[in-house]
Amino acid sequence: MDSFIIEGGCSLNGTLACSGAKNAALPAMAAALLTDGVTTLKNVPDLQDIRTMAMVLRVIGADVHIEDGTVKIDSSHCNFWEAPYELVRKMRASFYVLGPLIARFGQARVSLPGGCALGPRPVDLHLKGMERLGCDIQIENGYVNAKAKKMTGRKIRLDVSSVGATGNIMMAACGAKGKTTIDNAACEPEVVDLADMLIAMGADIEGAGTTHIEIAGTSKLKPVRWKVIPDRIEAGTYLIATAATRGSVTLTGCRPDHLQTVISKLGDVGVDVAVEGKSITVNAQHKIPEAVDVTTEVYPGFPTDLQAPWTVLMCLTEGDSIITETIYPERFTHVQELLRFGAKIRKKLNSIYVSGSKRLSGASVMCSDIRAGAALVIAALAAKGNSKVLRVYHLDRGYEKIEKKLNALGAKIRRVSE
């Protein structure tokens, strides 16, 4: 298992190109199952999660070729409608194949994902949505067995705004007869990117990016070439890391419009943030960051995926801040590890109270999920002394070439295999 040895006390400086969005690329790969030709996806990040989704598609019978940010998926010969536990337990987003399989083949057997470091992450909304469309859903031996002779468009209201359920139902509804509406739909840019790709494939979808989406079922979708949007979470992570290390970094090839809340919060912290076209520059060289409360919310609110990195930034201020998690109320596994750096954090219900102490000291810590891992790397970069960050396989799931990117900005990170 790989670890990072990180020399602390560095500041990040320079220019960095944004990668494609993992959370847009994964549903896009699943969407390739809706057609029976060769789908070409561009700007796909080189990540373990992408390789896991490729394995899921190969089990189903697709040919998947990954090279230099391009993924080609030939789904003409798919003949096995199953996503096995061994893969779904590694990556919950594998569950995205459920909707396309039902839409194209009228059946699917997809493992239930099971537990998650973020706390409870049910898939009930996905399943209720499929049932509303006329799908018979049975849970047997840890698997969802779905069968749909004929699916009919219906009105579906999500009890909770869910990115995954919105995308999955949208894909299933492409194969239903008539119109499906999704209310309280997720508005995240990754949902919009999926809808735009489906529209390019010939789907009839309106309203993506709002809480009301309408999908008119279509008999056949065609394969497309699609360029995945830039990763707003990766970008946000590096912007926060720059502020935390008192550096100055320009991120290129990103979508500032997808990061407005994060940019505005960084402005509140007192660092200079400048947006020019597809670039964002954060300059924190001359300012001790100020304490700023955040509450995670659905898009366009502050993203839950940046809550852990933000916690580190707040540890490095001189003031007190409150961070409240409304999406995953138990998503605080990074807190115990941050205490090892000398952070002062108290947790109460779904909030943490951070007392900024301006400095952290290097420590050995362990990643528990992708974003908690990113937070630990930021803390290690900002801390005095050396740190060891264990279980970096979590980071390899979600951050393309993370140590190479950070080292190019002046970080001193060494990967060791044990």
Applying CB under 6 A, the residues found at the interface with ligand UD1 are 23, 26, 92-93, 120-126, 160, 162-165, 186, 190, 304-305, 327-328
Shortest gap between Cβ of 306 and ligand UD1 (angstroms)? 10
Shortest gap between Cβ of 417 and ligand UD1 (angstroms)? 27
- The residue from 10, 18, 78, 116 that is catalytic is 116
φ, ψ dihedrals at 216, nearest 5°: -100, 125
Residues 6+ apart with CB under 8 A from 151: 102, 103, 106, 133, 134, 135, 172, 173, 175, 176, 177, 217
- Distance of alpha carbon 210 from alpha carbon 227, whole angstroms: 22
Contact 135, 148 (CB under 8 A): yes
- Distance of alpha carbon 277 from alpha carbon 150, whole angstroms: 47
What is the DSSP track for 126-183?
A: HHHHHHHTT-EEEEETTEEEEE-SS-B--EEE-SS--HHHHHHHHHHHTTSBSEEEEE
Q: Of the two residues 119 and 270, which places its CB atom closer to ligand UD1 in the complex? A: 119
Q: Of the two residues 88 and 413, which places its CB atom closer to ligand UD1 in the complex? A: 88
Three-state DSSP at 282 gives strand
Shortest gap between Cβ of 267 and ligand UD1 (angstroms)? 23
Shortest gap between Cβ of 165 and ligand UD1 (angstroms)? 5
Q: Of the two residues 255 and 412, which places its CB atom closer to ligand UD1 in the complex? A: 255
Shortest gap between Cβ of 123 and ligand UD1 (angstroms)? 5
Three-state DSSP at 249 gives strand
What is the DSSP track for 42-95?
A: ES----HHHHHHHHHHHHHT-EEEEETTEEEEE-TT----EE-HHHHTT-GGGG
Residue 107 CA to chain centroid, in angstroms? 27
Shortest Cβ contact with ligand UD1: which residue?
164
The question of whether 10 is a catalytic residue gets the answer no
- Distance of alpha carbon 32 from alpha carbon 30, whole angstroms: 5
Residue 412 exposure: Cα atoms within 13 Å on the Cβ side: 10
Tokens at 97, concatenated? 């194949």
φ, ψ dihedrals at 211, nearest 5°: -85, 0
CA-to-CA dists, residue 104 to 139, 335, 407, angstroms: 21, 44, 45
Shortest gap between Cβ of 236 and ligand UD1 (angstroms)? 12
Shortest gap between Cβ of 126 and ligand UD1 (angstroms)? 5
Q: Of the two residues 165 and 263, which places its CB atom closer to ligand UD1 in the complex? A: 165
Q: Please give the DSSP secondary-structure letter assigned to residue 286.
A: T
Three-state DSSP at 38 gives strand
- Distance of alpha carbon 373 from alpha carbon 166, whole angstroms: 27
- Distance of alpha carbon 2 from alpha carbon 60, whole angstroms: 30
Closest CA to 12 of 318, 332, 309: 309
Shortest gap between Cβ of 293 and ligand UD1 (angstroms)? 19
Catalytic residues: 116
